[in-house]
Chains A and B, each alone.
Chain A
Amino acid sequence: MTGLLVEALIKSIVLLLVLLTATAYLTLLERRLLAKFQLRFGPNRAGPLGLLQPLADGLKLLFKESFVPAQVDPIIYWLAPSISMVTALFVYAVIPFGPSIQLFGRSIPLVLADVNVGILVVLATSSIGVYGIILGGWSASNKFSLLGSLRSSAQLISYELTLGLGVIAVVLLAGSLSMVQIVEAQRDLWFVFRFPYGTVAFMLFLIAGVAETNRAPFDLPEAEQELVAGYQTEYGGFKFAMFYIGEYMSVITISALATTLFLGGWYGPPVIGRWLPGIVWVILKIFAGVFWFVWLRATFPRVRHDQLMTLGWKVLLPVGLVNVLLAAVVLALRSR
């Protein structure tokens, strides 16, 4: 019992350190990549290749004056960014990073908690994450914040449905809600290649994932030309950093989820899969997902809010429903 607790504690600490560092460097990666896409240099002054830039940014945010605007609801004003960050971190408790490894004579699974409702825990956590945005926008008593948070919560609630429908197709294919078993079910063929329902579910998941993370081209909640910075407008210093960390971490989260649910988790491609250990494949796939997010931002202009809602409710949702129905019928007929 104590052994298990210690193991979980060590894993949590390692996970926390790695994730926070990765998130900090994701901001640098994004700025450098965007600069490359736009034929600029990007931040390259702090340290070699600008590698110390995240450190400088972090220090600056930490030492900024902790400013609280008048007329805010103090409890909710503080609660909102914490909810955003904590829920973003919590998801990683159920995401598997590799098969079990042997260390000090015991087999250690590379996942913090292999619960048998794993994927539901992810969905539950992301549905709690909406509170950070709603409360953040509301408590600041500023019209831009309020509009941004209204937009954002409407967007999150709408696209969560599409996201869920993509996940249901995966659950049908794997026959389990456990993240580890979902990966195990992709040993021979990644779900993204299970045409048509696996592929369609993957595309739905990616589109909904971009909307869920409030990233371009679906970054209406913080459309700077109209809303200043949306729900974050009245936040500064460390509280702003918490929102920011939550947001960038969710980019990594969606990539990690796509890896686990559709891209075979720690299983590499058929022939060369054996050449590298499982955890390296997971990291490579997550990195590819993150790169795709940045690429998308550099390529597409922002859509209008009514276009976003039309796409979500009138295109993606029906496609997702038909896809789940198709997958269920085919799998039921085949299991006879």
Chain B
Amino acid sequence: MELALFIPFAALALAGGLGVIASGRAIHSALSLLLVLSSLAVLYLLLGAQFIAVLQVIIYAGAIVVLFLFVIMLLHMATGEPAARGVRPWRAGATVAAALFFAALLSAVIRTRATADLGVAPAVGFGTAEAVGRTLFTRFLLPFELASVILLVGIIGAVVLAKGSLTLRVHAESRAADEAEEPREEALTR
């Protein structure tokens, strides 16, 4: 039963991953990413981690890819023309980095020799919201708080970047408007 679900969804995840890098249009890449993330949610579910599976859908599939789509829609507006092909040296660098990352992952998997016994059912209460919350707020409290600080810095950074250019533009516009208006007033007084 588990294998019958694992194989198709793992294949879907892989197909989606290939789609992300192989599609010509950015919007197809984003949708392939959506396929990867949803298939991963099913795999989490098979591992008995239902809370994480639902969060995966809400946060990654429901929020982050939606943002990607927003950006693609606004940048390429109605046409969605193919994204510019990467510059050559960048492509080579990316290939090397991806190969290194894959090797690191593979060696980590081989070294642990998949010691987890797949036949054993997870403990009662494993993967529920309560269990995840308790672990997060006791054992992983420091990483959790650090992550939240990093996210906060990211939000403030985004606001500063957006607001900075906004106030500059407003200043420039009001100055331009002032300059435009002054001569007119002079003309009127004359």
Interface residues of A (CB under 8 A from B): 73, 76, 115-117, 120-121, 123-124, 127-128, 130-131, 134-135, 138, 141-143, 146, 150, 153, 157, 177
Chain B contact residues, CB within 8 Å of chain A: 25, 27, 31, 34, 50-51, 54-55, 57-58, 61-63, 66, 69-70, 73-74, 77-80, 128-129
Are A115 and B61 CB-contacts (below 8 A) given A138-B27, A150-B73? no
Query: Smallest CB–CB gap between B120 and chain A, Å?
Result: 20
Q: Which chain A residues border B79 with CB–CB below 8 Å? A: 141
The dominant DSSP class at the B interface is helix
Which B residues are CB-close (under 8 A) to A143? 78
Contacts of B25 in A (CB 8 A): 73
Residue of A nearest to B125 (CB): A116
27 A–B pairs (Cβ distance < 8 Å), ordered by A: A76-B27, A117-B54, A117-B128, A120-B54, A120-B129, A121-B54, A124-B54, A124-B57, A124-B58, A124-B61, A124-B62, A127-B57, A127-B62, A128-B57, A130-B66, A134-B66, A134-B73, A138-B27, A138-B69, A138-B73, A141-B79, A142-B78, A143-B78, A146-B77, A146-B78, A150-B73, A153-B66
What is the bound-complex CA distance between A134 and B80, given in angstroms?
Answer: 14
Q: CB within 8 A of B31: which of A76, A123, A127, A128? A: A76
Q: State whether B69 touches A134 (Cβ < 8 A).
A: yes
Which of B27, B58, B70, B74 lies in contact with A127, CB distance below 8 A?
Answer: B58
Within 8 Å CB of A141, what residues of B? Answer: 78-79
> In whole Å, how far is B158's beta carbon from the nearest beta carbon of chain A?
15
Interfacial chain B residues near A73, Cβ < 8 Å: 25, 27, 80
Contacts of B70 in A (CB 8 A): 134, 150, 153
Q: Which of B51, B63, B128, B129 has most A Cβ within 10 Å? A: B129
Extra A-B contacts (14), CB below 8 Å, given A117-B51, A117-B128: A73-B27, A120-B54, A121-B54, A123-B58, A124-B62, A134-B70, A138-B73, A138-B78, A143-B78, A146-B73, A146-B77, A146-B78, A153-B70, A157-B66
Which residues of the other chain, A, contact B128 by a CB distance below 8 angstroms? 116-117
Give the distance to chain A from B37, nearest Cβ to Cβ, in Å: 11
User: Closest approach, in angstroms, between the C-beta of A156 and any C-beta of chain B?
Assistant: 9
| Shortest beta-carbon distance from B95 to chain A in Å | 29
Residues of A within 8 A of B63 (CB): 127, 157
